Amino acid sequence: MTHFLEPNRIPIFQIGDCLLLTIQVDLEDRMIMTLKDDLAERIAKTHAKGVLIDISALDVVDSFIGRMLANISAIARILDAATVIVGMRPAVAITLVELGMSLQGVRTALDVDRGMELIRRESSEGAERLHEA
Amino acid sequence: MPDSTGSNLPGLLSRYQDRILTDWIAAQSEVGVLRADLMREAELRRQSRSFLSHLIAATKNGLNFDIESEQWQDVRDMLTEVTNFRVDHGFTPTETATFILALKQPIFECLRDQYKDDPATLVNEAWSATVLLDKLGLYTNDIYLRGREDIIQRQQQEMLELSTPVVQLWDRIVALPLIGTLDSARAQIVMENLLEAVVESKAEIVIIDITGVPTVDTLVAQHLLKTAAAAKLMGAECIISGIRPQIAQTIVHLGVELPQVATKADLQSAFAHALKRTGVTFSATKPAHTR
């Protein structure tokens, strides 16, 4: 199947050196796998410093989605981009905690704005440290 | 519907209706079910008359002991109304059931007059009446308990709602003072309220103050940790404050660890920590007060 025919592909936007993706539909397992591949490629190509995943429209999660979110952020970290998951709903947060997935090592923020702020702060801190070294 | 028991009770009830009603009300007053302090006699009279006419209507096609059946619907509704009235006015279950049980005596007296010369029938009819009235009496007991249970449940719900306020302390800082024992149901509501508040007030820091929680066991600690983890997932940081010395000892004794959750001794230091985290600083206006 070619990419053009894929109906439920999650678009990835670039804002400065951040990548933003908004999950607006119910996530199917295959979709999130495709997303993982797409995102890895985009980070490598754009040298993005941060990835914002907005899941404010997501109201159902399972352990697979939880693991994939953790996976995506681990991949991004290796490619030197910080991942921030933003806008998680209370019900989703409770579900993930009950599933025993507290997404260790993944940063979270209340909304896209705060998430962006977090990435900027961290990348500037990183730059300073590099400068000092 | 043919009379399955062959009882003549229904006919007797309607024939002696007025006499039974008068005797019944007298009997109720006698055994002290008519609590003049709780209800008026006119109300008792109305309830008694209404019940008796429903009873006659329900038995006119023959006596059926299955009081859950269709034919008894009106009587059941009536009894529910009567019982709820008594629940609301503070009657005891005994007093409520005696409302029905006091009906035995007048009926038995009518039976005695009717079957003076036929002891066998008299016993049979008396037995039918006893079975029926006992069932109805027990039914009021069920309704009574149900009414009480509703009240208890409602109060529990109200208590849950009352006891989990979320207070906004500063821009992006909210506090959740907990008072009373945390059980699972309450911990769940606390968690939900807190997370909703995080969304609503766009809070970055949540202070859970457990000054008013008498004991912290492993379960409570686990709930606190879960709440903190869920808040973290939504992008808010949790601080637990108000940990008294004994509680700190208990937590350590239990081997509970609170990783990644800042803990402070009191709300004041938690608030100070929160302000620092959000980058808010204060300065005293009078130099004498600066430290």
Structural domain of residue A34, as residue ranges?
Answer: 3-132
Last residue of a domain, one of B140, B159, B178: B159
Structural domain of residue B14, as residue ranges?
Answer: 9-159
Using pLDDT thresholds of 50, 70 and 90, give the confidence band for residue A2: very low
Q: Which residues pair with B174 in a beta bridge?
A: B168, B206
CA–CA distance, B56 with B103 (Å, rounded to integer): 13
User: Do B143 and B181 share a structural domain?
Assistant: no
User: Do B97 and B21 share a structural domain?
Assistant: yes
Q: What is the pLDDT of residue A25?
A: 79
CA–CA distance, A33 with A38 (Å, rounded to integer): 9
Q: In chain B, what residues touch A94 (CB-CB under 8 Å)?
A: 191-192, 195, 226, 230
Q: What is the pLDDT of residue A84?
A: 92
CA–CA distance, A51 with A13 (Å, rounded to integer): 10
Cα–Cα separations (whole angstroms), residue A110 to A94, A114, A116, B245: 15, 6, 11, 34
Positions in chain B whose pLDDT score sits under 50? 1-3
Mean confidence (pLDDT) of chain A: 84
Contact yes or no for A109 and B235 at CB 8 A = yes
Q: Is residue B206 part of a domain?
A: yes
Q: What is the pLDDT of residue A85?
A: 92
Separation in Å, CA of A133 to nearest CA in chain B: 27
User: Do B146 and B90 share a structural domain?
Assistant: yes
User: Do B110 and B71 share a structural domain?
Assistant: yes
B24 neighbors B48 (Cβ within 8 angstroms): yes
Q: What is the pLDDT of residue B163?
A: 65
Contact yes or no for A93 and B234 at CB 8 A = yes
> Count of alpha carbons within 13 Å of A8, Cβ hemisphere only?
11
Across A9-122, where does the E strand assignment appear? 12-15, 18-22, 50-54, 82-86, 107-109
- The ipTM of this complex is 0.75
CB pairs < 8 Å spanning A and B: 55
Domain of A124: which CATH number?
3.30.750.24
User: Rounded mean pLDDT of A66-83?
Assistant: 89
For A110, which of B226, B230, B235 is closest by C-beta distance?
B235
Separation in Å, CA of A44 to nearest CA in chain B: 27
Q: In chain A, what residues touch B199 (CB-CB under 8 Å)?
A: 89-90, 110
Q: In chain A, what residues touch B232 (CB-CB under 8 Å)?
A: 102, 108
User: Do B172 and B153 share a structural domain?
Assistant: no
Contact yes or no for B232 and A86 at CB 8 A = no
User: Rounded mean pLDDT of A88-117?
Assistant: 87
User: Do B28 and B150 share a structural domain?
Assistant: yes
Q: What is the pLDDT of residue B32?
A: 65
Residue of A nearest to B196 (CA): A90
Contact yes or no for B234 and A90 at CB 8 A = yes
User: Do B141 and B116 share a structural domain?
Assistant: yes
Q: What is the pLDDT of residue A64?
A: 87
User: Rounded mean pLDDT of A30-51?
Assistant: 89
Q: What is the pLDDT of residue B205?
A: 92
Separation in Å, CA of A130 to nearest CA in chain B: 24
Q: What is the pLDDT of residue B289?
A: 56
CA–CA distance, B157 with B176 (Å, rounded to integer): 19
User: Do B155 and B173 share a structural domain?
Assistant: no
User: Rounded mean pLDDT of A21-42?
Assistant: 86
Q: Is residue B197 part of a domain?
A: yes
Q: What is the pLDDT of residue A51?
A: 92
Residues sharing a CB contact under 8 Å with residue A77, sequence separation 6 or more, in sequence order? A83, A105
> Count of alpha carbons within 13 Å of B93, Cβ hemisphere only?
12
CA–CA distance, B51 with B71 (Å, rounded to integer): 14
Q: Is residue B289 part of a domain?
A: no
